[in-house]
Amino acid sequence: MSVTSLGFVTGRRTVAEVLADAQRLGTLGDRPIDEVIEHAQQFLAGLEGVTGTVVDIGTGAGVPGLVLAEARPDLTFVLVDRRQTRIDALSRGVTACGLVDRVTVIAGDTATISRDQRFAGRCAAVVSRGFGRPPETLDAARPFLSVGGRLVVSEPPEPDPERWPEAAREALGFGKPLYFKGIVMFHVEQSRL
């Protein structure tokens, strides 16, 4: 990357640089960037074998979606957040990283976006670092997913199966949680009941 005499940045930027910019703008917390990236990379275990489109709900500054897009060039990503200012900054970051050919950034409510014919029941996976309470996350993710799709969510260091109510999971067609370091994964086993 270089800077022109007018102060314009040229060349591709790394995801780490884009996340550092987001931190300076206040759209990403103050956790060290290398730790943010390391945590986002934990989602890769839940995406093993996935092909197609992955949606990051509540993406904020692009975590984990932007990190995953860099690590998995074989996938297409849709990064969704309802806050337009975050999406504006994230769109610039996606462009700066050279990912515009396979990363789409959308400002809006997940309930509305999940009904769009491009995404409704057509996505291979949904990821989320901190969308909302577990039942809300299940409910927001499910309309994007086809049967066999996956939901991969950030999880506390000590997994607590009580966080993911069985009745809510089953009503939406999700199977039992599978825990990996830092994440939990659910498969869509059946259509909504």
Three-state SS for the chain is: CEECCCCCEECCCCHHHHHHHHHHHCCCCCCCHHHHHHHHHHHHHHHCCCCCEEEEECCCCCCCHHHHHHHCCCCEEEEEECCHHHHHHHHHHHHHCCCCCCEEEEECCHHHHCCCCCCCCCEEEEEECCCCCHHHHHHHHHHHEEEEEEEEEECCCCCCHHHCCHHHHHHCCECCCEEECCEEEEEECCCCC
**For residue 113, is pLDDT > 80?**
yes
- State pLDDT tens for residues 158-186: 888 788 999 999 999 999 999 999 999 99
pLDDT value of residue 192: 60
Is 106's pLDDT higher than 80?
yes
| Least confident among 10-24, 71-85, 135-149 | 10-24
Name the domain count of the chain: 1
CATH number, domain of 120, equals 3.40.50.150
pLDDT the model gives residue 10: 52
**Residue 91 domain-assigned (yes or no):** yes
Domain range for residue 126?
A: 52-187
Is 180 within a domain?
yes
Tell whether the model's pLDDT for residue 191 goes beyond 80. no
Q: Which of 8-22, 131-145, 152-166 has the lowest mean pLDDT?
A: 8-22
Q: What is the pLDDT of residue 1?
A: 44
Q: Does any domain span residue 67?
A: yes
In a domain, 57, yes or no: yes
Q: Quick check: is 181 in a domain?
A: yes
pLDDT at 7 over 80: no
Task: Determine the pLDDT at residue 114.
Answer: 94
Q: Average pLDDT, whole number, for the chain?
A: 90
pLDDT of residue 162: 85
Residue 11's pLDDT is what?
A: 65
**38 vs 192, higher pLDDT:** 38
Residue 20 lies in a domain: no
In a domain, 116, yes or no: yes
Within a domain: 159: yes
Q: Which range has highest mean pLDDT (11-15, 25-29, 110-114)?
A: 110-114
